[in-house]
Every structure is written in structure tokens, then in C-alpha cells.
Structure 1
Amino acid sequence: MMKEWATVISWQNGEAVVSCDVKSSCSSCASRAGCGSRILNKLGPQTSHSITVPCDHPLVAGQKVELGIAEGSLLGSALVVYMSPLVGLFIVASLFQMLFHTDLAAMAGAILGGVGGFLLAKGLAPALSRRESWQPVILSVGLPPDALRIDTSSSTDNV
């Protein structure tokens, strides 16, 4: 089970809208100057994602919850997203190469197959995301933000 902490934005009718912060691993790496991931992280403006998760007990805005998702669903979705364009690329490129016997045709087939595989993955995504085993669940709930108050003043300060 993959786990991540999220912050509750709102809760209504048994559904919680939670915000998950995007974590970047580029803060402490020694090769920050030449890192491609660091550059790509800077390009994207989105630093948090909001999702809706079913929850029976009431939650308040600002409360932390621990979300979990099964590894199998994560691997399955990655397989669909990455492999369908790759398989489409190779199959259609091979087919065009066999039919037309030119590299230009194979390149055109590779482009068509890659785009077709991407569209196939995009079409399969809504159906696969409705599976209950692929949905995130709330594993644990933190205290509401106003439930715990720590008084830092000591009794010697009042004397």
C-alpha cells in the first residue's frame, strides 16, 4: 500500500476533497545543477492536486488524513499509460515498414501508432479509474487543526 498525507479542503455528504502536495526530490541532491528532473519540476505550475475520497466520519478543513492506494493499481495504471503508446508505436511502425518498405513510412507509422496508443490509454483511463480497487482510501485521520493547543508560556514567566 502506497501512503501519502493530504490536507482536507472540504467535507460534504460523505465525500472529502483533499489536497496532496507535489513533492520534489530536488532539494537535497548533490547534482542539482545538471538535473533534468529539477528543470522539469520548475516548468510545471501545479504544486498540489485535489481529489475526492469517500469518508464516513465528518472532517474539517485543514485536517490531515493519510491516503493509501494499492501498489497493483498504481502499477496497472502506469502500465497502461506508458506501454500502450510504446506498443502502438512498434506495431504500427513494423506494419508500415512491411507494407511500404521505406523508412519514411516506418517513421510515419511510429508516429501514428504512438498517438493511437496514447488515445487508447486516454480512452481506457475513465473506465479503469472507476474500479474500486484503484481508488484511494483514507487510512487514518489526524486531529482537527483546532483540537490541540500547546501553551508555551511557563509558570515562572508569570512571577
Structure 2
Amino acid sequence: MIKEWATVVSWQDGVAQVSCDVKASCNSCASRAGCGSRVLNKLGPQTTHTIVVPSAQPLVEGQKVELGIAEGSLLGSAMLVYLSPLVGLFALGGVFQVMFGTDLAAMCGAALGGVGGFLLARGFSHKLAAREAWQPVILSVGLPPDELRVEILSSEAR
């Protein structure tokens, strides 16, 4: 189970809307100046993701919850997203090379195969996302933000 903490944005009728912060993968690496991942992280303006999760327990805005998703569903979706365009790229590129015998045809076939693999992954993702095993679940719930109170006793009260 892969776990991540999120903040409740709203809760209504057994459905919680939660916000997860995007964590950059490279903040402490020694090669930050030449890192491609760092550049890609800076390009995306989105720093939070908002998702909907079922929750029978009433939640309060600002409350922290721990979300979990099965490793199998994460690996399956990653394979679908990355491998289907790659397989389409190589397969159609090879077929066009054999059929037409030119590099230009192979390049066009590879482009068509990559786009086709992407569209195939996009079509399957909606069906797979409907599976209950692929949905994130709330594993634990933190205290509401207004419940925790810390009192400091003065030295006179002791």
C-alpha cells in the first residue's frame, strides 16, 4: 500500500474532497543545477491535486487524512500509460518500415503508433479507473484542526 497525507477541502454526503501536495523529487540532490527532473517540476504550475474519496466518517475542512492506494493498481496504470505508446511506436514503425522500405515511412508509422498507443491508454484508463481496487481509500484520520489545544502552565501553577 502506498500512503500519502492529504488535507480535507470539503465533506458532503459520505464523499470527501481532499487536496494532496505535489512533492518535487529532487530538493536535496547535489546535482540540482543540471537535473532534468527539477526543470520539469518547475514547468508545471500545479502544486496540488484535488481528488474525491468516499468517507463514511464526517470530516472537517482542514483535517488531515492518510490516503492509500494499492501498489498493483499504481504499477498497472504506470505500465498502461508508458508501455502502450512505446509498443505502438515500435510496432507500427516496424510495420511501416517493412511495408514501404523507407525511413520516412518508418518515422510516420512510429508517430502514428505512439499516438495510437496513447489514445488506447486513454480509452482504457476510464474503464480501469472505475474499478474499486484502483481507487484511493482513507486509511486513518487525524484530529480536526480545532480539537487540539496545548496549554502551557506557568511556574506559579505548579
Distance in 1 between the 2:53 and 2:156 partners? 46
Corresponding residue for 2:87?
87
Q: 1:112-132 deviations in whole A, cap 9, x for unaligned?
A: 000000011111111110000
Cα distance in structure 2, aligned partners of 1:58 and 1:147: 14
**Offset of 1:157 from its aligned partner?**
7.2
Residue number in structure 2 paired with 1:68:
68
Which amino acid in 2 is paired with 1:45?
Answer: P
Q: Which residue of 2 aligns with 1:143?
A: 143
**Count of equivalent residues:** 157
> Whole-Å Cα distance in 2 between the matches of residues 107 and 84 of structure 1?
17
Distance 2:78 2:27 in 1: 26
**Partner of 2:31: helix, strand, or coil?**
coil
Runs of 4+ residues over 3 Å off in structure 1: none
Seq. identity, %: 72
Q: Establish whether residue 111 from structure 1 lines up as the match of residue 111 from structure 2.
A: yes
Matching of residue 156 in structure 1 with residue 155 in structure 2: yes
Partners of 1:50 and 1:20 in 2: CA distance: 6
Q: What is the alpha-carbon distance in structure 2 between the residues aligned to residue 99 and residue 53 of structure 1? A: 49
Query: How far apart, CA to CA, are the structure 1 residues paired with 2:156 and 2:28?
Result: 40
Structure 1 portions without partners, runs of 5+? none
**How big is the shift at 1:31?**
1.1
Question: What is the CA–CA distance in structure 2 between the aligned matches of 1:102 and 1:141, rounded to whole Å?
Answer: 60
User: Which residue pairs with 2:10 in the alignment?
Assistant: 10
Q: Separation in 2 of the partners of 1:135 and 1:25?
A: 24
Residues of 2 paired with 1:40 and 1:157: CA distance? 56
* Cα RMSD after superposing both structures: 1.1
TM-score by length of 2: 0.96
User: TM-score, with normalisation over the residues of structure 1?
Assistant: 0.96
User: SS where residue 145 of structure 2 aligns?
Assistant: coil
Distance 1:117 1:34 in 2: 31
What letter is aligned with 2:89?
L
**Aligned twin of 1:28:** 28
Tell me how far apart the structure 2 counterparts of residues 15 and 140 of structure 1 sit (CA, whole Å): 15
